[in-house]
Amino acid sequence: MKEISVQELKEKMDNNEDFQLIDVREDFEYEMSNLGGTLIPLAGILIEKDKIATDKPVIMQCRSGKRSAVAIMQLEPYGFTNLYNLSGGILAWAEEIDPTMEVY
């Protein structure tokens, strides 16, 4: 599984690179803190897979990187080869990029 660090994600954001960010957490988690990605909770990832780009990099994120890894494992059999797991998830983002971000 391909992974990307929070520093690499921040660089992509700062450079306005073309990628899609998918947050696989639940609504209440997203409302507390998010990185601006599209919310598709893990339980519905296969139902909503048509919302996931196939023509550019897609970064999957959650709280710690575990649920986003599960999402990638569920999607890969459907031909997705452009998925990256955000290593450490939003916890790593809060620790390394934005210490003011509210986490739980």
**pTM metric for this prediction:** 0.96
What's the pLDDT tens digit per position in 78-102? 999 999 999 999 999 999 999 999 9
Calculate helix-pair angle for 89-96, 6-14, nearest 10 degrees.
70
Whether residue 104 is predicted with pLDDT greater than 90 in this model: the reply is no
Q: Give the span between the Cα atoms of 69 and 98, in whole angstroms.
A: 23
Residue-range domains of the chain with CATH:
3-96 (3.40.250.10)
What's the pLDDT tens digit per position in 18-61? 999 999 999 999 999 999 999 999 999 999 999 999 999 999 99
Annotated active-site residue 64? The verdict is no
Select which of 35, 59, 62, 92 is catalytic: 62
